[in-house]
C-alpha cells in the first residue's frame, strides 16, 4: 500500500470509481507503470509485486481493463491500494479474475467478478456500492446462456 505522496510521485491522473476518486493507470501509461513497479519492488514483498505484475499483464492483454490505486483506511492512515478494474455500465468496477464454470453446460473459462468482498473494503459508501453492484446485469454463459458459478461483468473467450 502507498501513502498519497508516493502515488502523486508516480502519476497524477485520476478517475472516479463508484463516486470515489482513484489514481488511474491504463495500458498506454508505460512510464507510470514502470515507476509503480519500481516502487513496489523496493518497498513491498514479493507477493505484492507478483499480484501487481499479474494485474498489469492482464490489463495490457484485455480491453476494457485498467489499474487503479484506491483509498483505503488502514491502521488509522489513509493508504492507496492497487486494484484491477473493468469499465462496465458507465463506471469502473474493482474486479477479481476468476476461473468459473457454467452450471448447465459445464463450460469453463475466466470472468471478471465485481462482487468479491475485497472490492468494497475501505469504501466510505460501502453499502451503497454493494447495492449498486448487485443491481448490475450479470453476464451468462457464452456457450448456452446458462448461469455461471460466479457473478460476471466480463467473460473471457
pLDDT tens-place values along the chain, 157 residues long = 556 566 667 777 888 888 888 888 899 999 989 988 888 888 777 888 898 899 999 999 999 999 998 877 666 666 677 899 999 999 999 999 999 999 999 999 999 999 998 888 777 788 999 999 999 999 999 999 999 999 999 999 7
Residue 54: the pLDDT is 94
Residue 88: the pLDDT is 96
Residue 6: the pLDDT is 67
Q: Which residue has the cell 476494457?
A: 64
Q: Which domain holds residue 30?
A: 4-155
> What residues contact 77, with CB distance under 8 A and at least 6 apart?
3
Domains identified in the chain, total number: 1
Residue 76: the pLDDT is 63
Residue 120: the pLDDT is 84
**CA torsion, ordered 138, 141, 144, 147, to nearest 10 deg:** -60
Tell me if the pTM is above 0.75.
yes
Residue 119: the pLDDT is 85
Residue 80: the pLDDT is 74
Residue 75: the pLDDT is 64
Residue 7: the pLDDT is 66
Partners of residue 100 on adjacent β-strands: 109
**CA–CA dist 104, 93 (Å, integer):** 27
Residue 43: the pLDDT is 75
Amino acid at each position: 500500500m502507498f501513502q498519497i505522496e508516493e502515488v502523486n510521485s508516480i502519476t497524477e491522473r485520476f478517475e472516479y470509481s463508484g463516486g470515489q476518486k482513484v489514481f488511474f493507470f491504463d495500458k498506454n501509461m508505460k512510464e507510470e507503470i514502470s515507476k509503480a513497479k519500481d516502487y513496489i519492488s523496493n518497498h513491498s514483498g514479493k507477493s505484492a509485486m507478483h499480484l501487481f505484475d499479474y494485474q498489469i499483464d492482464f490489463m495490457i492483454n484485455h480491453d476494457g481493463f485498467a489499474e487503479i490505486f484506491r483509498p483505503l483506511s488502514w491502521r488509522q492512515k489513509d493508504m492507496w491500494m492497487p486494484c484491477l478494474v473493468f469499465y462496465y455500465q458507465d463506471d469502473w468496477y474493482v474486479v477479481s479474475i476468476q476461473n468459473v464454470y457454467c452450471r448447465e453446460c459445464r463450460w469453463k473459462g475466466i470472468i471478471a467478478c465485481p462482487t468479491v468482498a475485497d472490492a468494497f473494503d475501505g469504501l466510505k459508501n460501502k453499502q451503497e456500492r454493494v447495492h449498486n453492484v448487485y443491481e448490475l446485469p450479470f453476464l451468462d454463459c457464452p456457450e448456452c446462456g446458462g448461469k455461471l458459478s460466479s457473478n460476471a461483468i466480463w467473460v473471457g473467450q
